[in-house]
Amino acid sequence: MTGVNGSTIRNAMTVDVEDYFQVSAMEPYIAREQWQQWPCFVERNTEKLLALFAERGIQATFFVLGWVAERYPNLIQQIADNGHELACHGMDHTRAYTQTREQFAADIRQSKTILEQCAGVAVRGYRAASYSITRDNLWALEELQQAGYAYSSSIYPVKRDLYGIPDAPRTPFRPARAQQLIEIPVTTAQVFGRNVPAGGGGFFRLFPYAMSRYLIQQVNDSDQFPAVFYLHPWEIDPEQPRPNGLSWKTRVRHYLNLHRTHDRLSQLLKDFSWGRMDDIFLTRPTPVFDLV
């Protein structure tokens, strides 16, 4: 497939498979003990994404919670059977920097085992909840390497309230402390010397579509490098429940332009070439970088 500027660079399409009540922004309003009380739409919405990808002939990488896999094993099998890469998003969306090293090590092993047993395929990729590998817990990279992961996509080279290492590389690198592991950041574009989020999520809903397309084009055309894009199944579901008492910030962050996401995504799939993380990045030469 050729992109809008004639580029043949293949970008990575990724999905963080979690439900609306599991995101970090909802933590103050829906406790983990209450998850079972809320209607779960992750299976339905993920199947909609699978249908859209099949229509476009696209394979993607799905970072799945162990919590989801335990409840919807047929969905996990469906992801693998459709030729997508199955990757890990931890057990229950606990941010990595809130865990001890021992808790994190147990979490990434348990969730990896559950996913592999569901689909009968090796799980090589991991993405931390809310990109929660920061300078405070770089030991997590060593634990991922020891647990048998080939790559992580858990460090975002921006500054946000919940995450970010702004001076981390914008392109894949091997951390000096875990050189058998590749860290693959979500895409940012350089605008006036600053890293601007260009890899999806809430920014894909916030920015006009033309801006998102322009930023990915810049990465492909100017940087001559593949982009990494991500979204969540709940982002194509404008009918999802809305808890009472949400702050203004949470309402904007979570619900803004949900009714536009499906059509924007459909257009994005037409405008660029897409594939799986492992196919795109694991065979590329990757430099070592010391984050300390």
Domain ranges (residues) in the chain: 10-289
Residues 6+ away with beta carbon under 8 Å from 278: 61, 85, 124, 125, 150, 151
Residue labelled with tokens 């990915």: 216
What pTM does this model have?
0.96
What are the pLDDT digits (tens) for 87-100?
Answer: 999 999 999 999 99
Q: Say if residue 257's pLDDT is above 60.
A: yes
Residues 6+ away with beta carbon under 8 Å from 210: none
What pLDDT is stored for residue 7 in this prediction? 60
Residue labelled with tokens 């439900």: 19
Q: Say if residue 2's pLDDT is above 90.
A: no
Of the listed ranges 85-94, 158-167, 280-289, the least confidently predicted one is 158-167
Q: For residue 61, give the nearest of 280, 283, 234, 267 by alpha carbon.
A: 280
Q: Say if residue 142's pLDDT is above 70.
A: yes
Q: For residue 74, give the nearest of 109, 106, 42 by alpha carbon.
A: 42
Half-sphere exposure of 146 (CA within 13 A, CB side): 12
What are the pLDDT digits (tens) for 83-137?
Answer: 999 999 999 999 999 999 999 999 999 999 999 999 999 999 999 999 999 999 9
What band does 6 get if pLDDT is binned at 50, 70 and 90? low
Enter the tokens of residue 210. 């033309």
Of the listed ranges 157-171, 196-210, 233-247, the least confidently predicted one is 157-171
Question: Which fold does the domain 10-289 belong to in CATH?
Answer: TIM Barrel (3.20.20)
What pLDDT is stored for residue 163 in this prediction? 86
Contact 245/29 with Cβ under 8 angstroms? yes
What are the pLDDT digits (tens) for 13-63?
Answer: 999 999 999 999 999 999 999 999 999 999 999 999 999 999 999 999 999
Q: What percent of the chain has pLDDT over 90?
A: 95
Summarize the confidence of residues 149-169 as an average pLDDT.
93
Q: Where are the beta strands (DSSP E) in the chain?
A: 10-17, 61-64, 85-88, 125-126, 151-152, 174-175, 182-183, 188-191, 194-197, 228-231, 273-275, 288-289
